[in-house]
Amino acid sequence: MKYKMRIKIIKFGDVLLSHPAGKDAYLLTESHIFHNLNADEEIQLDFSEVKVLTPSWADEFIGGIKRSHKNHMSFLNTDNPSVEAFLKTVLN
């Protein structure tokens, strides 16, 4: 059975703008949540209620996760236009 760790991005705010804020969010997640992450556990990033996501914030947060963990990552509730645009740019 594959385990899933869901991270609600709204906990970092509904307007996510800068590199420093994204890095702070990543470091907080790394130290408080990912320290118990299993290698086979899927990371689910849930963007519900996020109003604005900039490439700067996402690059630091999602990029940090990608660099540090080999886990499969999935994205939930990505219907917000700024979230959708970022993910299309990065994932294609």
pLDDT in tens, 14-45: 999 999 999 999 999 999 888 888 878 899 99
pLDDT in tens, 51-63: 999 989 999 999 9
Within 10 angstroms of residue 51's Cβ, the number of other Cβ atoms is: 13
Bridge partners of residue 73, in order along the sequence: 43
pLDDT in the model for residue 92 = 58
76 three-class SS:
strand
- Provide the token pair at 80: 């917000």
pLDDT in the model for residue 40 = 82
